[in-house]
Amino acid sequence: MEESENNTIENKSENENVNFQSRLDLTSLTESIAAMKAELNTVIVGQEKMIDQLLVAFLSNGHILLEGVPGVAKTITAKLLAQTMDIGFSRIQFTPDLMPSDILGTSVFDLKKSEFEFKKGPIFSNLILIDEINRAPAKTQAALFEVMEERQITMDGTTYVLDKPFLVIATQNPIEQEGTYRLPEAQLDRFLFKIVIDYPKLSEEILILQREHVLQNHGKLENIKKIITASVIEKYQTLVKQIVVEQNLLEYIAKIVVNTRENAFLYLGASPRASIAILNAAKGFAALRGRDFVTPEDIKEAAVPVLQHRVMVTPEREMEGLSSVEIIKQIIETVEIPR
């Protein structure tokens, strides 16, 4: 009897050791994320949800679309995130006369060698800030399709693979504003998240003014520390992919996405790429919270920023003032949460 109990205890101990060893060590990741958040919060007032979504996108290796009226710190937010990482940074200002070659690069004839030489454009970097992306026409937008999806560029029959990590943060003004173009659906689908930045509250506005007054002639980004390097980012992104997702949670994601295709209020539902995006983003949210497994709450938190720019509301419902965010939240409420 005693020997049987001892064997049971030993087996239990061995199983615990096995389980412990199989868990992911997220200590370094969570410490780095906390340090990055601290740096971002020295400049950005409030916007905790936005900061979390930015960090989740970079952990999930996904592109970000920041939308808001002029003056709500979209550009400074992107530059600030780049400042916390020791990687290449490039900024491209989109304008109506911008050409694809201004982004990707162009072939120039070298007289000495008597051959064409490809001069790389500003897209050849690690973190790309595209400012006011919806001020450029469709021809220029199309130049981003391959590079955002496949992280490579094909020019004159030659394929150039971009260095890792590669992340695009694009800002856009609301489409109701003058001089803006609606982004093509294929372009929108390549962004992991669409993050909408609202006006600050009164208390936050006061704090913004106080900080600006204290800064005087000093720049906002002068004292921002670099927290992580390119190799560390790749390591974290690989780690996040290994986060555990149960089968019933995969089914939960699929049901939410399929519901967008069957909803009477939407005439364009989300594609399978959206399902994959929710999966990757949910893993990112789990890692952000220091967990090596995904919960239904992670999926619900990822669903709105992943889906809101991928679905289209019917004109009738749009005229009634119903937004894609409200419809997505309704869908999430109707899908049964796995137990």
Span 148-167, pLDDT tens digits: 888 888 887 888 888 888 99
What is the band of 287 on the pLDDT scale with cuts at 50, 70, 90? very high
Distance CA 284, CA 286 (A): 5
Output the average pLDDT for the chain. 84
Residue 70 identity (one-letter amino acid): P
Is 174:134 a contact under the CB 8 Å cutoff? no
The model's pTM is 0.83
CATH 3.40.50.2020 fits domain 25-227: no
pLDDT, position 217? 64
Which range, of 60-64, 135-139, 255-259, averages the lowest pLDDT? 135-139
Residue 121 identity (one-letter amino acid): G
pLDDT, position 205? 83
Is pLDDT above 70 for 1? no
Distance CA 28, CA 235 (A): 10
Nearest Cα to 257, choosing from 310, 221, 293? 310
Greatest Cα pair distance, the chain, in angstroms, is: 91
Distance CA 291, CA 313 (A): 35
Is pLDDT above 90 for 332? yes
Q: What is the pLDDT of residues 204-242, one digit of tens each?
A: 888 888 887 777 666 667 778 888 888 899 999 999 999
Sketch the domain layout of the chain as residue ranges: 25-227, 243-339
CATH topology of domain 243-339: Helicase, Ruva Protein; domain 3 (1.10.8)
